[in-house]
Each structure stands twice: as structure tokens, then as C-alpha cells.
Structure 1
Amino acid sequence: MTERLSAQIAFLKEADKLKRVNRANLLLDLSRPENAAEHCWHLALYALVFAPLANPDVSIARVIRMLLLHDLVEIEVGDHPIHEDHDWAAIAAAEERAAERLFGMLPADQVPQFLDLWRAFEAEACPDARFAKQLDRCQPIFQVLCAQSPVPAHVQIVRDNLSTGRAAPMREDFPQAYHHALSLLGEATQRDTQEVARRLAFLCEADRLKSVYRASRLLDDSRRENSAEHSWHAMLYAWVLADHAAPGVQIDRVLSMLMLHDIVEIDAGDAPIHGQSDPTLMAAKEDAAAGRLFGLLPPDQTREFNALWREFEAADTSDAVFAKAIDRLHPPIANLQNGGGSWVEYDVTMEQLDQRVGVPVQKGAPDVWAWLRPQVRSALSR
């Protein structure tokens, strides 16, 4: 068990590097480039939100998993903007090598699950992969067109992409999104795109989570982590460590909980686990935030997302207990790597960690806490 868990955590620590891979896209407020990790989280959210618009043969759970891992190879090969000239065959070969190395870090029985899913996305040869690809193509388009003040050069790239570029297949494969993009460009379209527009309002608001910074820091200690990339990493943790969950835990529900769990921080802000925030006041702020943010969605999804978020907060189901354990697990592993991080900043004791981290992790993933606690204790003693 120790060897298996060590391999899983080694892979998850390597994945942290995706937070330092910048893309050509900007955040909606134009403040900085979007990084590949928060892009993966946003795409997973796109999949959950646009699920009612997918074909009946599409498995949204599988689409979400594809989108969580699709850009991990960029840790080694970097991002390649579609409007630039590249040797795409060489890039594909390099990405294949990167995928084999990265997913090869996992225990042998998990390697095929991840590698095959990544290859399926790349091949675009099944309904799930085709829908995932269309989301990957439309999210950057809406990042440009829904910005506060769209960058003219980026708008022209979008026009070219929709007409003759990689996004052109959206005309047939995802027509609602394609025609909504045309309407945002000021072009006439006869198609009703309200189903996209209503959901896109929520997705654009969710972009603000990329600017909510946490007490925890990246593994290389270069900066604080934001809540969007934390949510992506927590989802990846839950998937990789699924075999440490209690019997009967539904990992796809856990992934959805972790995808949504911090969205309320857009309004309420982050409340560091070792900080001094008032729990009652914070709970009220988060409850109001959930009402406003999920209220941007159509009524059915408002109820669905609210229920998932509240289930996570209450942590009284086996799915939510495991989700809470994963949420608490991620920061200590980063702190072990970066020299203490928030433990140093907040002068944290082992007693505090046992209570604030150990209790929920022990409850949801006892084997993981048994493996982690001696490392934490040793680090704090130093």
C-alpha cells in the first residue's frame, strides 16, 4: 500500500507543474494569461453546465475526466496557440511521449485507464471525445468574446478559427455554441441560442474564481494557489486516490462536488483553514453566494448544483466525506514540498493539524492519513 500511494502522490505532485503553463488566452478581466490547470477546471465545469445540450450517447462523467487530464502533457511540451504555425506531427509525437512518461508514474493498473482516456480524447473517435473537443474549442472563443473589452487581435483569431480553423466543425457538432459565438461577433443568425447564453452567464462569472487566491502555495513556492486550479487539482486527487475511498463512494459525484465546492469564494472569499475567520459569518456569506451564483443557471441546474454544494458542506454522505478528505489532503502535501507554506505563516501545531486535517482525512481516507501523518509530524518537528 505504501509503494502504491507513494507512486500516486508522486504523479499528483508532478501535475502541480501544469499551474505554471500559461496559455495564449487571457482571463475575462484581461488581468493575466490563463494557465492550463485552471483552463482544465473551467472546461470540466463547461461539461457539467452544457450537459443538457450534449447528444444522448455522450457520457458527461467520462467527458469531465477527459478534460481534467487532456492538457497534462503541456507540462513537458508547453501550450501551442492554434493561430501560430507549428509542426503538428512533431508536437503530437512529443505529447505522446509526455503522456507515456506522466501517466507511467502511476501504479501499473492505473496507467491504461489514464493513458487510454487521454488517447481517446486526442483521437476524437467516440461521442465523448467529440463533445469534449468541442468544449475545448468553444471555451477559448467565449473567453475572448465575453471579456470586458475584447482584444481586437484576439477577436480576429476567433473569426478565423470559426470560419476555417479548428472551431469550424462546431457548426455541425455544437451548433448552439457556434451560432451564439456568431451572435457575439455581431453576425446575423437565425438560431435561438438562449440555452447557451443563460449557461454562459454562469460560466463567465465562474472565471472570477481564477482570481481568488488561497493561503496555500504551489509546490515550487513561486506564488499562492488560486481556487480554480485548486479545484482542478482536488478533482485529480480524488480520481487518482479513488481506491482509498470507502466502498460505495461514487467518484464521479465526488468530482462534481469538488468542481463546485469553492465557487462561492467568488463572493465570500477564501477562509484559510488555519486562519481566524468567523465560521457563522462565513457560512452565511457562502450561502448567499451559492444562491446568487447557482441562480444564474436554468432552474433545474440551480437546484442540482445547490444540492451538490450543500451536500459537500454538510459532509454527511459517504461521497461528501471522501470529497472533504481530499479537499483537506491537498494543501499538506504541498506544504511538505515547499518548506512549510501556510504552516509557517500561521504557526501551525501538530495538534491543530490532527484536528483540522487529520479528522476529516481519517474519516474519508484513513489509509492516506496513516501514510501522511508521520511525514507531517516529522516536518513540523523540524
Structure 2
Amino acid sequence: MVSQRLKKDLEFIVELDKMKSIFRRTSVIGEDRQEDDAQHSWHISVMAMILSEYANENIDTCKVIKMLLTHDLVELYAGDTFCYDIVGNMDKRDREVKAADKLYGMLEEDKGKELRALWDEFEEQKTPESKFAASMDRLQPMLSNYNNNGGTWKKYNVAKEDIYKRISPVKEASNELWEFVEYMLEDAYNRGLINH
């Protein structure tokens, strides 16, 4: 007989399959289709594994990857909010907290608390791991936009100062990656991939 704990774990895992159907504004590099949340989470997790050596502080890379794999799970119920959507971001926090309560409440208390703690830590961005995780989350769409001839930057006429504000967590997490970000954004601006 299947234990109640295992049953809850499996129901949670099946629910996570919906991540493949939550589409983001960012396009897959070189393709005319949007990435989904599952692709984004996978990509930033691999990025953390590859780029962790550039972190300014010693970090637990495994913990960073756990944060990256779980931080967008709340979008199962809260939806994906485009980072430059001023109106959508007004109630984003409330929607995501409710979603976190519902989602992590599906699991047995110990597992639910563990995942919720990772989500909360990511959101607060106070620990070296959460800062580095946030930098991966911000860097990945920038790489996509840069390699997609401006992508959402051009499509939504995003100002260079707003892009710099959005990518700012990288500055605190990694000096080397920040140097690359500055090069990338200035090059994108000079090439007309950023409108203003």
C-alpha cells in the first residue's frame, strides 16, 4: 500500500508538470517561440552550476540550484508576471504568497517547509546563495534578448536604465559577471538592440 507521504509527493510531482505550460515573454534563442517556466528553471540551474566559480562569496551551489529549480513553482497558480509590467507587478507579491501557501501545503509539513524556506530565501535576496540565484535568474533572459536581436527589450521598448535596474543583482553577486553584463548591455545599446 502506498503511504500517504509518497502519495502527496507524487501528486506534487504531477502538478509540477504544468510548469511546461506556463509561457514566459522571453523567446528561445534563435527560435520564434517563447520559453516555458520549466525550460527557464532548467537553464538557470545549469548556469549556476557552470558559473558558480565567479561568485564573489563562497556559495553552496547545490542550495543555489535548489532555489532556482523551485523559485518559479509559485507561477503554477500566480502565473508569470513580465518583469517590466508595472501594473502586473503591483499585486505580484500577494499572488505569489498565496500560491506558495497553496503549493507547498500540498506536501507533508517537513517537505513543504523546506521548499517554502528556499522560496522565501530567494525572494529576500539576503544570503550569498540567494543573491547568486537571483543573478542567474536575471542573466538568463538578458542572454536571450541579446542573442535574439533585442528580443523583449525591443518588442516592449524597454529603456536601458530599466534593464540595468533589473539586472542589478548580478553586480552584488559577481564582479566578473557584472563586467560582462556591462559590456553586453552597452554593446546591445550601440547596436540598436535597446531603443533608448
2:150 equivalent to 1:372: no
Q: Could you tell me which amino acid in structure 1 is paired with residue 62 of structure 2?
A: D
Pick the aligned partner of 1:246 from 53, 56, 59: 56
Q: Matches of residues 1-382 of structure 1 in structure 2 within 5 Å? A: 191-357=1-167, 359-381=168-190, 382=192
Give the Cα separation in 2 of the matches to 1:233 and 1:370. Answer: 21
SS in structure 2 at match of 1:246: coil
Aligned to 1:140: none
Runs of 4+ in structure 1 over 4 Å off = none
Q: Deviation digits for residues 294-346 of structure 1, max 9, x if unmatched? A: 11111100111111000000101111000001100001111111111110111
SS in structure 2 at match of 1:361: helix
Give the Cα separation in 1 of the matches to 2:173 and 2:71. Answer: 17
Q: Deviation digits for residues 194-237 of structure 1, max 9, x if unmatched? A: 33211011111111111111111100132001011100000000
SS in structure 2 at match of 1:277: helix
Unaligned runs of 5+ in 1: 1-190
Give the Cα separation in 2 of the matches to 1:355 and 1:372. Answer: 12
SS in structure 2 at match of 1:267: helix
In the alignment, is the contact (CA less than 8 A) between 1:210 and 1:226 conserved in 2? yes
Structure 1 length as normaliser, TM-score?
Answer: 0.49
In the alignment, is the contact (CA less than 8 A) between 2:55 and 2:174 conserved in 1? yes
Q: What is the percentage of aligned positions where both structures have the same residue?
A: 32
Aligned to 1:113: none
Give the Cα separation in 1 of the matches to 2:141 and 2:108. Answer: 34
Q: Deviation digits for residues 5-62 of structure 1, max 9, x if unmatched? A: xxxxxxxxxxxxxxxxxxxxxxxxxxxxxxxxxxxxxxxxxxxxxxxxxxxxxxxxxx
Equivalenced residue count is 191
SS in structure 2 at match of 1:198: helix
Give the Cα separation in 1 of the matches to 2:140 and 2:6. Answer: 34
Give the Cα separation in 2 of the matches to 1:277 and 1:196. Answer: 40
Unaligned runs of 5+ in 2: none
Q: Could you tell me which amino acid in structure 1 is paired with residue 93 of structure 2?
A: A
Give the Cα separation in 1 of the matches to 2:109 and 2:34. Answer: 35
Answer with 1 or 2: which has the greater Rg: 1
Give the Cα separation in 1 of the matches to 2:79 and 2:155. Answer: 19
Give the Cα separation in 2 of the matches to 1:283 and 1:372. Answer: 27
SS in structure 2 at match of 1:328: helix
Give the Cα separation in 2 of the matches to 1:342 and 1:372. Answer: 17
Cα deviation for residue 355 of structure 1 reads 1.1
In the alignment, is the contact (CA less than 8 A) between 2:56 and 2:173 conserved in 1? yes
Cα deviation for residue 280 of structure 1 reads 4.4
Structure 2 length as normaliser, TM-score?
Answer: 0.93
